[in-house]
């Protein structure tokens, strides 16, 4: 059961993401001074297709992901869980109610740096599974950097509903802190004046106490 926990949580997250169509409420009142601003490239000016969905998976590939849980390396379990989630997305996309709904999915692997393994593109199960297979273990844990890169990709994708799903087994020890990224997202702090407070963030703590990410939750 414990080995399947990431898969179960991720599937619940996807149900939440794919079922939502609304945007988060905009904050009002006295503007806060930016603590950290997200650097964004040019973002599309045209409206996103109604009901379209973008999901960026961010997978931790730090050295500790080679450690075993119940005899199986965590990276192996995580890859299997991610592939199971991708198959769930395929089933959802084939539902008659969703056939005309645009869904884009991408993959980022992060260790000391964050790298786009599969850019945000219309859903392609075989291409995404191949991207999962090519992920390799690196060094360090740059969670915040992966979230920034994922945000950049999501905003360029031209989708209405945007979500980051981050799976990690460690604390951030390289680059920007993840709580600063979430703070910037919620307050629309970026160099383009783009709205980012509707980006949904799901941080899955695997084989580590979830309390470590209380700063992100707050």
Q: By the 8 A CB rule, do 152 and 176 touch? A: no
Instruction: Report how far residue 209's alpha carbon sits from residue 38's, in angstroms, rounded to the nearest whole number.
Output: 27
* Count of beta carbons in the 10 Å neighbourhood of residue 26: 9
Q: By the 8 A CB rule, do 186 and 37 touch? A: no
Q: Give pTM, 2 decimals.
A: 0.87
Q: By the 8 A CB rule, do 105 and 162 touch? A: no
* DSSP 8-state code for residue 190: B
pLDDT of residue 206: 86
pLDDT tens per residue across all 218 residues of the chain:
344 455 545 555 554 555 554 444 455 556 678 899 999 999 898 999 999 999 999 999 999 999 999 999 999 999 999 999 999 999 999 999 888 999 999 999 999 999 999 999 999 999 999 999 999 999 999 999 999 999 999 999 999 999 999 999 988 999 999 999 999 999 999 999 999 999 999 988 888 887 888 888 77
Instruction: Report how far residue 164's alpha carbon sits from residue 144's, in angstroms, rounded to the nearest whole number.
Output: 12
* DSSP 8-state code for residue 174: S
How do the residues of the chain divide into helix, strand and coil, expressed in percent and rounded to 5? 40, 20, 40
Instruction: Report how far residue 41's alpha carbon sits from residue 137's, in angstroms, rounded to the nearest whole number.
Output: 28
pLDDT of residue 9: 53
State the DSSP H helix or E strand holding residue 108, giving kind and residue range, or none if neither: strand 103-110
State the DSSP H helix or E strand holding residue 70, giving kind and residue range, or none if neither: none
pLDDT of residue 208: 84
* Count of beta carbons in the 10 Å neighbourhood of residue 31: 10
State the DSSP H helix or E strand holding residue 202, giving kind and residue range, or none if neither: strand 199-205
pLDDT of residue 33: 80
């Amino acid at each position: 059961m414990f080995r399947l926990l990431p898969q179960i949580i991720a599937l619940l997250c996807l149900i939440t993401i794919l079922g939502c169509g609304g945007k988060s409420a905009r904050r009002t009142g006295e503007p806060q001074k930016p603590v950290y601003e997200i650097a964004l490239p040019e973002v599309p000016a045209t409206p996103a297709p109604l009901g379209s969905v973008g999901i960026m998976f961010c997978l931790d590939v730090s050295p500790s992901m080679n450690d075993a849980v119940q005899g199986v390396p965590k990276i192996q379990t995580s890859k299997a869980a991610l592939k199971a989630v991708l198959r769930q997305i395929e089933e959802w996309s084939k539902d008659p109610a969703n056939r005309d709904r645009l869904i884009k999915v991408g993959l980022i692997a992060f260790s000391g740096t964050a790298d786009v393994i599969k850019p945000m593109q219309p859903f392609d199960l075989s291409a995404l599974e191949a991207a999962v297979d090519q992920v390799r273990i690196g060094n360090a844990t740059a969670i915040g950097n992966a979230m920034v890169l994922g945000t950049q990709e999501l905003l360029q994708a031209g989708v209405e509903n945007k979500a980051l799903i981050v799976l990690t087994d460690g604390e951030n020890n390289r680059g920007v802190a993840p709580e600063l990224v979430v703070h910037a997202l919620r307050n629309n702090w970026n160099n383009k004046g783009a709205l980012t407070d509707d980006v949904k963030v799901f941080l899955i703590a695997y084989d580590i106490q979830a309390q470590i990410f209380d700063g992100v939750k707050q």
